[in-house]
Chains A and B, each alone.
Chain A
Amino acid sequence: MDLARPLPQPITPEARPYWEGARDGKLMIPKCRACQKPFMYPRVLCPHCGSRDVGWVQASGRGKLFSFEIAHQILNKAFKVKTPVVLAMVELDEGPRILTNLVNVAPDPKAIRCDMPVEVVFEKLTDEITLPMFQPAGSGGAR
């Protein structure tokens, strides 16, 4: 199979609910049962309070574009998506920040601004792996 992107790997055991959720079209994030704060990336200890009592919740999929950049070249040869590509940091409404791509938008710094509202879209790569990505809120339609 000729993929346009490197698959996430290695999938670590503590991150399985994240990737299984994405496969099912859900953005799942860890949430501490002790202090009630969600966090990313998945780990077995809450980075806010140190508790080991960690569960999972489905995030709303909404957030804001915290920062972005426009890549004109990509060092990783396994990444073959045509440049320019918008590399993005999204702050989820629940709080945690994640890296992603901003899609369904012109790759132009004049068309994109920090703090614009964004929403998750899912891109299926294989039967097992689907990547969460983000688009400007209200862009409509899955890709």
Chain B
Amino acid sequence: MSAVIKPMITLKEICTEAERIRLTTQNSFGDKIVSDIYVNAEKIANRTITKNTSENPSLDSRLDDILTSRLFGFPIMLLLLSGIFWLTITGANIPSEMIGNVLFAFQDQLIIWFALAGAPDWLTGVLVLGMYRSLAWVISVMLPPMAIFFPLFTLLEDLGYLPRVAFNLDNMFKKCQACGKQILTMCMGFGCNAAGVVACRIIDSPRERLIAVLTNNFVPCNGRFPTLIAIATIFMGGVVTSEYETAVASLVVTLLVILGILITFAVSWALSHTILKGETSSLVLELPPYRKPQFGAILYRSIIDRTLFVLKRAIIMAAPAGAIIWILANVYIGELSLIRHLAAWLHPFAYAIGLDGFILLAFILGLPANEIVVPILLMSYLSSGQMLEFDTLNDLRNILIDQGWTWLTAVCALLFCLLHWPCTTTLLSAYKETGSKKWTFLTFLIPTTIGFAVCFTVAQLARLLGLA
């Protein structure tokens, strides 16, 4: 048995000592150690390996040279992204209309049945005009874009392109003193911010993980995508002739996503220079070989795992929300319905940031799920005026213009949609992941503040310059 040597020095003291030495150099020892290991490996490899690779480099590495090059890396990324949006917007229009037609035709049928059954008006109102109609909207507005966007995104994932995106952006994250893996959590955020927040677990440094959690909401999730796409299509696209409509709309959505990413960088930078100071950890990023995608698996994963999952969540949220809105819109205090009172009360504030009371109210009521913002908005607009049938995006456009929307309203609504509080599910996930009320509150506060600030600036500037 070995003799016991009583420790003369504690581990803690050594750690402090090491910490002191570690901080004497500006560049972290961590990076130095990793690069030294590489140098050693390279030396050994040079002495023991001979490559007779006279033939051309493999297709993979030639592809990588282009996709991750300094010159083409970013443009290709943007091109792919806007391409996906373009396909989504173009492809979603027709099925959206068809589903809408079917579902709203059924709504009329339901009303007839309810009348036949002798149901009181308020019951028909809550169940059909409230619950059923918001469900119909959620499905017809959300399902088609999701059913196109998710498979396309999963296709990129399956091809092995996402690691290249991480590679391209790694350097920028490093400059913000954040982790390169953050981009992967952002990609998850495209699907669902709550999933994105949970995905932040892959980041091992607690500091960098917090940064990723706090900024994940700047990536528009699919709950917000349909809203962005719808508003962009009917307003931004409407500015130009119809042949360029979808192109302009997809460009606008792409620009918004880029704006979200830029704000992510800015906030990450700001956080790591204020309340979350610390060093950047290095990571080894391997670019896996490109693979032939398996279409069956892609369809299954994107439709079952993502589309239906998200749709289910939206439906669960939309039905009660629809009922509540209908009640709010049909209970009168004095001359005005409750919803009008609320909207009127919010209006001055909302007007200052380029929106109107109803829009802000819709975003507030959409806190449980961003998917229901547009349905809530339409419902509150429609219930307050004459009943309009909603069939196509064109009708939607007319409704909004009737309610006094200008291009500025649309721009501010788009910006506010990108930059506002996360939904409750995301906040709950953030609370579970961080285990702290303070960080959860910041997850709420940071995007909200930025959203108000940006919309306020845009609205005031535009009015000052007499543009709107």
Binding partners A and B: no
Show the binding face of B for A, using Cβ within 8 Å. Answer: none
Interface residues of A (CB under 8 A from B): none
